[in-house]
A and B are shown apart, each in its own frame.
Chain A
Amino acid sequence: MSATLLPEDLPLDAHRRTHSAATKRYGFFPGCVAKESCRELFNSTMLLAERLNIELIELTAASCCGASVINDVNRDVARVLNARTYAQAEALGLDDVITICSTCTGHMRAANKELRDSEGLMDHANAILRKFGAKYEGTVTVRHLLWLLIDDIGLDALRSMVVRPLNGLKVAPFYGCHIIRPESVNGWESARRPHSLEDLIEAIGGEPVDYAGKTRCCGFHIQLEKENVAADMVGQNMRMAADHGAEAVITPCPLCHLALDGYQADSAARWGRTDLPTFHLPQLVAFALGVPADKLGLNKHLIDPRNVLVERDLIA
């Protein structure tokens, strides 16, 4: 079994103290789903940023990261699309691009790693960027908001900002594959035994639930491939979470959110009912930091998260 990366082997990049972190002005790439079916994710992120006193500067001309699927048609296009995005960040004087989607994180970090590790690939990308006067110098780091919360803000500071602690709400973390694997691309924490979401849940007053499915795939990318596979990929994980006492789920990935929120109803036939509402990471953190619940788009979820909040006396 390959050993997990030791701390000194982690790519310096993942925990780098960026200029953005020092100035609290970050590049922000919301991704496509946060602008389409999961607008509540985008909105709660901006509200959370306000609370944290950080500026998220949206890269409005950035394209889709490729969503990992585009690698199936061409081996270069994702790298060049993301090089364009990083060039835009650099042009704005930013060295940090924050994402709110696990898939974007893994995919963009992989592209960035290829560009920075290989002069040939960087030159190849820049040759195309040159056609419209852009250039990527290799100075950008891509990080998920989760990492910003823990590295830049810090769990202690977050704890002190909590005005609405979760009253021991049992929350199951669901990481989303692409924010942890492969370790050679992400490497911010152990992919086999991550605990950042658990630490965060505790810091905002919840009780984290440990279960084997927390690092397993939600099946989003294969939902339409074959009948039942979407429901089964969700069911096999949510069954474990429910059996370990979870009342809700938190995830840093809107694609996982769509899968877990959308397919638990169908998974009941084979896996039994679970009905676990799935919070977006910024939603639940913003809630604990006092952002009014009605601004967080909780009413948009298919499995209504307001029920568990009422049960725990967190909202009326």
Chain B
Amino acid sequence: MNPSTRTLDQERDRIGALLSRARGTRAPALRRAMNETMSANTFIFRDDDGLGKAVDDMARIRREFDTDAYVMDKSKTFNTDLVGALETDFLIDASLALAAGAKARTESRGAQARTDYPERDDANWLKHTLAWRQPDGPPRLDYSRTVTITEFDPQVRTY
């Protein structure tokens, strides 16, 4: 199945914008900002304040990338400046979805260890988070209750 013309145009524009801008913000600077907020706020222990900050920071970084990101290397040969910028673009999407999903999930489960909601809550939260990228701001979230359970029954994991 081939991508639609619209999809191809979008990708062409994405790459074209990075290559054509003569100045702006470089991806490594935005990646460093992303590293810092995600490490501070979505690391091992999470809480609502921190997660809220992560969502706001990532939304801001998302906007700045969209309007300002550019690459210094305009070459067509092995352009790692461009590849790095594209990676950063996609990491921003992933981080924003992660932060938004984590903030909404008012429980602890697996790698999500919330100090404000330390217990696992299967009654309300045994469901998958789905995220849709929005043109502005954090993603739209929805949920799927179709969770496939095979060998291990959902329960609190204790040592």
User: Do A and B share a direct contact in the complex (Cβ within 8 angstroms)?
Assistant: no
Q: Which residues of A contact B (CB under 8 A)?
A: none
Q: Which residues of B contact A (CB under 8 A)?
A: none
